[in-house]
Structure formats: structure tokens, C-alpha cells
Amino acid sequence: MVIDDFWLANKRDSKMNNMTAYSTRFPNGIKSVGKYLHSKNLLFGINLGNGATKCSGYPESINQLELDAKAVTDWGVVFVKLHACHCTKNDFEKFTKLPEGTGRPVMLLCTYPEYKYWITNSKLFDWKRLQKTCNLWRAPSNERNDSRYIIHFINSHKIHDDDSPNVAGLGCWNDPDMLALGNNGLSNDRNRVHVGMWCMFAAPLLISADIGKMDKFSASLLRSKHLLTINRDKGGHRVKFVKSRNDVQLWIRKLSDHPSGWVIAYVRTRDDGRSIKFITSLDKFKSQMYTISGYKFEILDVFTGEKFNVVKLTEKFTISINPSGIMMFRIIPFQLTLSSK
């Protein structure tokens, strides 16, 4: 459970300069929130800032990093989203080391890349430095409850496929922001794109919605064992964009968990018109990092959990993709056993 912005009071404590909670929203303070969440076997996360003020104007942690690091560990916080709004110095490394000194390590989400102009010139950003410091990093703009945001992030990742994703892997992940499904702003097809591609990106599945009021379709996506298995694959392999054809993007990711193989996705970026028939084959999924290899494969539909087809590497097959839709398949090589007589 992560408390995002607007939990702070307008000013720090006048005596000790400690962060204080907004009294109307949290009359018993933040530490009591942590105790309650822990009593429910939930982990506790919180939003801090590393600038003069937060984007919302509330106090940030600049020049108070040590004090605030001690506070969050005392509250039982294990996840910190460190904002970089109005940040004039790049000292997010300093905050990373402070919780370790308290005996309680904290997972750190850095939003620093979101405020750098690396989109137009990726050489402006030191991704290796970020990899050494942060467990997660936020690159695109904040989550929006509409389909344009989802495609914006996917396209941004596609354009800079050789930049930001290169450092992603075990222990250091790209974070495309929270999932917005369940808020009545997305169609079922776009919800599938949303969750499916976030699983392809091996992104954290943080949900920005009222779980108690979530519709059944959105809830079914979040409970899908096939999607969650892909998202949590132990290999932590990065996703790769392959190519676009007829407004359909092709993506691939290697999987290590049994049965090992690949997962591929066809994302249709147009939101108008009808469903289209798309002729394809597995040998089309070639990139500098991954190439599907083998003779014969079982194709599993990730969203239905059913076997879609059995094909050879170069054998053509046809799929149907809705506007703003996605088809996502797990590719499992047939294991040929040779016996001598």
C-alpha cells in the first residue's frame, strides 16, 4: 500500500523540523498507518521529494534527507517513491544509503528521469548511475486514466528501445507508472494492452484504483496466472521492440521459467475501424537481442490460457486484432527426444 502525494502538512514540525502528516487526513499520524498496514500483513510505501518543494507545493526532503530517512524507517516504510520535482542537485544516491544505516533497507523508486530532457537526447542521461542507485525508475509522465497515456509510454519505450531499457533487469526495473484500469476510463481492449504490456516490460504492477469497486474484467486481468507468470519471470529479461507493420507493433521477451521460451505481443495502435486479420509467422520476431529458434512450437493465448496453434518456425498463421487491441502469446518449443534402436 503506497501513500502518494498530499499526505504531508503544509509545514514541517516547528520544534524538530520533522515531517508531519496532514492532520485532517491522518489524525493519528503516519506511524499509526504503518502499524495498521503491518497488522494486515501489508507492506507500506510512501511518497517523498528530493527538491525544494514537491510538485504540489508541499515540503520536500532537500537538506533533510537524513532526518526523513530515519522517519520513514521508524514508520515501517519499505518502499519510497522519491520525486525530483524542483530538484536542483542530483543526490538521490545519498538517500539510498541512509536507510541502510538504520538497519531497514528500503526499495527506492526514482522519478528523476521524468524531469530530464533525455527524450530528445538520450546521451544527456547516465543510465548506469541510475541502475546502481535505484530499484525502479519512472521515465514517462505520470499515470493518466486514458488510452493515450498507455500508447504514449509504449511508443516512448519503442523509440528509445536501445537507451533506457538497456540497464533494466534483476533488481533494477523500468517503471511505466501505476496501472489505471478499474477506473472506468478504459475499454476492455485497452485494459488488456495496459496490463499485458506492463507484464511484457516486467514492470511493477502498482494499482491506482479502488479495489473494492473494480469491475470484474479488470480484476480478472490482475488475477491472470498467465500474465503474472510472465511479469514475474525469474530471468528478468528485458522486452524488445521488433518492428511495426500496418499500425501493429511486434514485441518479444525471453522467458526463463518452465516451460522456457518466449512471449510475443501484437499491439494495434489505431483506435478506429474494425478488427483486422493479421498474417504473421514466428520467424518475423528477430531482434539484436532475441530470435525465436527451433523447429516446432506450441502457441498459448496468454489472455484465454488456451492453446492457439501449433506451428513451425516459418509457418504462417492468422490472428484477429481489435482496434486499440492486443494479442499476446507464449511460445513454447517442442522438445524432440531422439532414441537409438
Q: Tens place of pLDDT for every residue, the chain, 341 residues? A: 999 888 888 888 888 888 888 899 999 999 999 999 999 999 999 988 776 665 666 666 667 778 888 888 899 999 998 887 766 555 666 766 666 555 667 888 888 766 665 556 666 677 777 788 888 887 665 555 566 778 888 887 787 676 655 678 888 888 888 898 887 778 999 999 999 999 999 999 999 988 888 999 999 999 999 999 999 999 999 899 999 999 999 999 999 988 889 999 999 998 888 999 999 999 999 877 888 989 999 999 999 999 999 999 999 999 999 999 999 999 999 874 343 33
| Sequence-separated (6 or more) residues with CB below 8 Å from residue 208 | 143, 178, 179, 180, 183
H/E element, 219: helix 216-222
Grid coordinates 494479442 are at which residue? 327
169, with CB counted inside 10 A (0-12, 13-18, 19+), is: middle
How wide is the angle at C-alpha 301 spanned by C-alphas 199 and 285, nearest 5°? 70
CA distance 247 to 134: 35
From the list 151, 81, 145, 90, the residue with the least C-alpha distance to 115 is: 90
CA dihedral sign, ordered 129, 131, 133, 137 = positive
CA distance 223 to 225: 6
Grid coordinates 520533522 are at which residue? 18
CA distance 224 to 326: 16
16-to-12, 20, 102, 125 alpha-carbon distances in Å = 8, 10, 19, 37
CA distance 34 to 68: 15
| Sequence-separated (6 or more) residues with CB below 8 Å from residue 294 | 313, 333, 334
Tell me the β-bridge partners of 173. 136
164-to-120, 134, 265, 281, 294 alpha-carbon distances in Å = 13, 13, 20, 29, 30
| Sequence-separated (6 or more) residues with CB below 8 Å from residue 151 | 269
Q: DSSP state, 142?
A: P
The structural domains of the chain, ordered by start, are 2-140 (3.20.20.70), 239-333 (2.60.40.1180)
CA distance 131 to 127: 6
